[in-house]
């Protein structure tokens, strides 16, 4: 495993997203097809409020690692928030087909996509 990728995870735990972003970018510079690094860079960018950057990284993640269920799930969730419902539902369904443990989270996001904007949204927390 790449040292930059591992160090980035440490920065993420500390919520130092700028530090994590630098490390994920270094990991990607060494291996541009590093799907996991693209996914977590997307997560990092999302936490910094950069939805466009997150979308770009999530798309790169699933391009290089179409079998990475968490990347499919996060891409689907962001697409749903951006109003791209059809593609979002397809990504969420694919995430569940890859890893059944994603079903609860994917179902939550799919339900959100089927609600009208005026309907109250159900919390994913008990």
pLDDT digits (tens, 9 = 90+) for 66-81: 999 999 999 999 999 9
- In the chain, how many domains are there? 2
| Cβ proximity of 15 and 44 under 8 Å | no
Query: Which uninterrupted H or E stretch holds 8?
Result: helix 3-13
The tens digit of pLDDT for each residue in 9-18 reads 999 999 999 9
60 and 3 share a domain?
A: yes
How far from 101 is each of 37, 97, 106, 118, CA to CA, in Å? 21, 10, 9, 30
87: closest CA among 65, 59, 118? 59
Cα 59 from chain centroid (whole Å): 9
Sign of CA dihedral 43, 46, 51, 53: negative
In whole angstroms, give the CA distance from residue 70 to residue 44: 14
48 and 2 share a domain?
A: yes
What average pLDDT is seen over the chain? 85
16 assigned to some structural domain: yes
Task: Give pLDDT, residue 104.
Answer: 74
Longest dimension (CA), the chain: 46
124 assigned to some structural domain: no
Tell me the residue range of the domain where 79 lies: 67-115
């Amino acid at each position: 495993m790449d040292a930059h990728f591992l160090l980035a995870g440490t920065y993420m735990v500390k919520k130092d997203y700028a530090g994590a972003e630098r490390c994920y970018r270094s990991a990607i510079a060494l291996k541009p097809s590093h799907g996991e690094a693209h996914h977590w860079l997307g997560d990092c960018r999302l936490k910094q409020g950069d939805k466009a950057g997150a979308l770009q990284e999530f798309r790169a993640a699933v391009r290089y690692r179409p079998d990475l269920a968490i990347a499919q799930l996060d891409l689907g969730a962001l697409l749903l928030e951006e109003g791209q419902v059809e593609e979002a539902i397809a990504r969420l369904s694919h995430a569940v087909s890859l890893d059944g443990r994603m079903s609860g989270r994917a179902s939550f996001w799919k339900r959100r996509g089927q609600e009208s904007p005026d309907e109250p949204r159900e919390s994913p927390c008990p």
